[in-house]
Amino acid sequence: MAIINTMDNNDSIGFNDLSYLTDRLRETAVNVLPESHYGIMTTESIVAFLGSQERAVKVCKEASCLAELGRMVSADYVAQANIGRFNNNLTIKTELYSVKKGNLINSFTGESKNLAGLLVIINEKAPILFKKLDKRLYSVKLSTEPSGADLSFDGDSQSSCTTPCKVELQAGNVRITADLEDYETADTTVSIKQNNQSILIRLKPNFGILEVKPAYSDGIGKDEQWSLTLNGQSFSSLENKLPADKYKGELSHRCYEDISFNIGVSKGKRQVFDMAKQVKLKKGGLVLKAEKNGEPVFVNGKQAGKTPFSGSVPLCAVVEVGKGRERVDVELEYNGRVEHTHKYEYEILGERGNAYFYEVNYDQAIEDYTAALRIKPDYYIALANRGLAYHKKGNYDRAIEDYTATLRIKPNFQEFLYLRGFAFLLKKNYDRAIEDFNAALRIKPDYLDALSNRGNAYVYKGNYDRAIKDFEAVLKIDPNDVYARNIIEEIRKFTDSRDGKTYKTIKMPDGKIWMAENLNYNASGSKCYDNNPANCQICGRLYNWATAKMACPMGWHLPSDTEWGALITAVGGEKTAGKFLKATSGNGLDSYGFTALSCGSGYSDGIFILGNQGGMWWSNTEYGSIRAYNRSVSNYREDVVRDNFNKDVCLYSVRCVRN
């Protein structure tokens, strides 16, 4: 390497000063370039190559380029500084060339008001100039404290890394800058000498730290963090890096009174605010009731009283009730007063079971009722409702088990006496069903469902008379009960084995079973009104007295005058009985279902009278040898008329009475 004497194009400085600047360049090259690879030519050796000092000065001034000059002195590389002036300032331009290739390797320029300034420029930029020749690269481990800093080398932002990192750097002095947010920029020069060299750069913080130490009273609300604002700005953490300044802090928490404080933060220091002495719980009034009085009430683990409880309670405290310390789900109001009735877990499970029951999700309902009963085995409401759910699912055995368990706790629970009876009815255990219906009716005699289903049980047992009594009892309580009326009619239907015709029957207030329709048996000599068969379908047939006596089927008979009289007396007497016995089509009330129709009458000679204006019925009682008693009603009167007419000539309707 040849360092050619510094040239002064404008004779701005003296020879000695030029020589000193040249020597400083040579010294820098010696320090930067490894001795094993480079030799720095002295002034004497350069002069020797050029012939003399005078010739050397002349050649240096006249050479067309440094590369040519380098070839003259047999150097591989050549460098020279040139001094000039610009705007009254001294300027320096230093170039480094490859002699072989003739190309510029590196250069630097600068200006100063004096030589001292030029020397500063050389000291700063000359190492970088010559370092371009040292091609050795070393692997360097770089880290900062703290990590995460962005590094750049020799001012080149294109060559950078983020710590910790590993890079390859040329041997020699390297200027490293480290930038990290909230820290001062570090600017240091490091000598790179070997592979795997480790370099640590410690950064100075450009901030202070504020730490807020949270505090809680008896651990209340410790699962929730305090909210912090500083100078009106919200912070999510209680420890923050802050610029050096004075701050007004506000701390808030759902469970505590707000806390205000003032604090200063200094660069590089940690300030701690401990709120322990300032925490104050928010409180609200609580009036607490439970299933029964005298149960212990606990507030945050400590007994505070018994139910019914009334007192001031921390807003976020855990409130428990009962020996089992069941948690009370209540939301208190700050500085307010809340009244709350505690529902135990088994009650909540039972209510949820009820909700599933009404949604027709019986399996889930049974699951919740069972869970409630595990907590409280004598919870009869869950027992009863689980029985209902099993009942709805058709599992009558399990339903009966739960109804029975319910009745052991509540023996007079008439509804579940009835339901168990109903389950036995569905299982066709009619005797047990009747037993439970009887028990329910002893408690509540007008229990319609129990009466009706006891009647059903008697029907299934074949005890029709007893069944009818129950359905008649139902009708006394509710005359509009269609089911009871229909089943009585169904029970009392009679089929005449002679012709297969079926007749409604009814038990009247006189205690007798009467046909509720006119007889329509085609006995010899009987006729249809107007000889029209369609009238027989509505009104039955008309008979003379002798035929009427023999027309009723086996087990039945034509009523006597006395039996007619007893019936009429039982329904209100002759003056008003017609109103209660007549069909509604004949302006009657048909109060008992007797349905006395206005079917007219006839004579043996073929004449028919009255039409739909009234009706006449034979009795089996004679009035002398020619006549017999009868009863008649009219659409225009409310009474029942007792009379007697010719047995052979007159044709009247027939109602039969069971023997």
Q: What integer is the mean pLDDT of 354-362?
A: 95
pLDDT confidence of residue 563 = 98
Q: Which of 574, 576, 551, 564 is nearest to 617 (CA)?
A: 564
CA–CA dist 332, 176 (Å, integer): 62
Q: What integer is the mean pLDDT of 109-134?
A: 88
pLDDT confidence of residue 73 = 83
Pinpoint the residues of the chain covered by CATH 3.40.50.
2-131
Q: What pLDDT, in 10s, does the model give residues 518-532?
A: 999 999 999 999 999
Q: Quickly state the pLDDT bin for 6 (edges 50, 70, 90).
A: confident
pLDDT confidence of residue 630 = 98
| Structure-block tokens of residue 604 | 């043996």
Q: Quickly state the pLDDT bin for 99 (edges 50, 70, 90).
A: confident
Least confident range of 2-6, 210-214, 429-433, 450-454: 2-6
H or E element: which one contains 300?
Answer: none
| Structure-block tokens of residue 560 | 């006597």
Q: What pLDDT, in 10s, does the model give residues 229-240?
A: 999 999 999 999
The full DSSP string for 328-374 is P-----TT-EEEEE---HHHHHHHHHHHHHHTT-HHHHHHHHHHHHH
Least confident range of 49-63, 170-184, 257-271, 275-289: 49-63
pLDDT confidence of residue 594 = 93
Q: What integer is the mean pLDDT of 555-579?
A: 96
Q: What pLDDT, in 10s, does the model give residues 322-354?
A: 887 888 888 899 999 999 988 888 888 999 999
| Structure-block tokens of residue 199 | 């370099």
Tell me the CATH class for 208-274.
mainly beta
User: Residue 281 carries which side chain, given as an amino acid letter?
Assistant: L
CB atoms within 10 A of CB 319: 21
User: pLDDT at residue 60 above 70?
Assistant: no
What dihedral do alpha carbons 369, 372, 376, 378 form, nearest 10°?
Answer: -10
Which CATH fold topology does 137-202 show? Immunoglobulin-like (2.60.40)
Q: What pLDDT, in 10s, does the model give residues 7-49?
A: 887 677 888 888 899 899 999 888 888 777 788 888 788 878 8
Q: Quickly state the pLDDT bin for 535 (edges 50, 70, 90).
A: very high
Of 60 and 378, more confident: 378
pLDDT confidence of residue 4 = 84
Q: Quickly state the pLDDT bin for 159 (edges 50, 70, 90).
A: low
79-114 b/e (C-beta count within 10 Å ≥ 16 → b): bbbbbeeeeeebbbbbbbbebeeeeebbebebbeee
Pinpoint the residues of the chain covered by CATH 2.60.40.1120.
137-202
The mean pLDDT value of the chain amounts to 91
Q: Which of 364, 297, 272, 286 is nearest to 331 (CA)?
A: 286
Share of the chain above pLDDT 90, in %: 69
Q: What pLDDT, in 10s, does the model give residues 372-406?
A: 999 889 999 999 999 999 999 999 999 999 999 99
Q: Could you name the CATH architecture of 2-131?
A: 3-Layer(aba) Sandwich (3.40)
- Name the DSSP letter for residue 543: B
Does residue 255 contact residue 315 with C-beta atoms inside 8 Å? Answer: yes
pLDDT confidence of residue 133 = 79
Q: Quickly state the pLDDT bin for 157 (edges 50, 70, 90).
A: low
Q: Could you name the CATH architecture of 345-478?
A: Alpha Horseshoe (1.25)
Q: What integer is the mean pLDDT of 245-271?
A: 95
